[in-house]
Amino acid sequence: MPRPTGKVWVSLKIIMLGPPGSGKGTQAAMLKEQLGVPAISTGAILRSEIAAGTDIGLKADGYISRGELVPDDVIIDIVERRFLQPDCQKGFILDGFPRTTAQAEALDAKGVKIDAVVVLNLDDEVIVKRMSGRRICKKCDASFHVEKNPPKAEGICDFCGGALYTRVDDAPETVRNRLDTYHKNTEPLLDYYKNLLRNVESYGNIDDVLKSILAALGV
């Protein structure tokens, strides 16, 4: 791992891996504050493209609502453009990318050197139950849970005051599709990144999981 200079890391490139609903987005947002590097969520970028009615959004919408993966070329293009923004110079936390071997190979081909891959482990049945309580901010995509991580005011985002909603793809049937997709397409990345893995159990409350991640990263 690169050494921090004071509280600022020279460069830190982390991938958050794990099934949908294992807490990647919530933990990436908390880690971003701790580590001072941006959290990049391909899912959040796609949702904002859909809301804005762009060509990318129109392409992605059907795949997302069916719980399928958006084609690699669309995703790789989004990530490449996001990397060009200046805040990525000190590193980044990738939340939801890569999700296929082709996406991981595209990162390698770009010469991006990943420091650690945090794997959040959570059982499928716990995930299906958890997802029905998840609420997302329409404006900033922050994630809450009605029981495990409730907002201070019901239906309102703590961070930006945006309205909270339930994602269409969090419906139990779609979550099961997303889990199947994860096992088939994304789980092979555990082997791809076998030398960089930091396994963390994601059953506890969000602060305890964050502590475990920081310990696993050695920070």
Task: Enumerate the active-site residues.
Answer: 24, 99, 134, 167, 178
Which CB sits closer to ligand AMP, 99 or 135?
Answer: 99
| x-or-dash string of contact with ligand AMP, 120-159, rule CB under 6 A | ----------------------------------------
DSSP code, position 85:
S
18 lines the binding site for ligand AMP (CB under 6 A): no
Query: In the window 160-219, what residues touch ligand AMP (CB under 6 A)?
Result: 169, 178
94 lines the binding site for ligand AMP (CB under 6 A): no
69 lines the binding site for ligand AMP (CB under 6 A): yes
Phi, psi of 174 (to 5 degrees): -70, -35
Whole-angstrom distance, CA of residue 43 vs CA of residue 41: 5
DSSP code, position 195:
T
Contact with ligand AMP (CB under 6 A): which of 29, 35, 46, 106?
46
Question: Between the CA of residue 190 and those of 17, 97, 118, 198, 215, what are the distances in Å?
Answer: 8, 13, 10, 10, 20
Q: Cβ-count burial of 161 within 10 angstroms (0-12 exposed, 13-18 middle, 19+ buried)?
A: exposed
96 lines the binding site for ligand AMP (CB under 6 A): yes
Residue 3 Cβ, how far from ligand AMP at the closest point, in Å?
Answer: 30
Which candidate, 46, 71, 76, places its Cα nearest to that of 61? 46
Cβ atoms of 203 and 44 within 8 Å: the answer is: no
Residue 218 Cβ, how far from ligand AMP at the closest point, in Å?
Answer: 26
97 lines the binding site for ligand AMP (CB under 6 A): yes
23 lines the binding site for ligand AMP (CB under 6 A): no
42 lines the binding site for ligand AMP (CB under 6 A): yes
Give the torsion through C-alpha atoms of 28, 34, 37, 41, to 10 deg: 10
39 lines the binding site for ligand AMP (CB under 6 A): no
Whole-angstrom distance, CA of residue 64 vs CA of residue 101: 19
Residues in touch with ligand AMP (CB under 6 A): 20, 41-43, 46, 63-64, 67-70, 75, 96-97, 99, 103, 169, 178
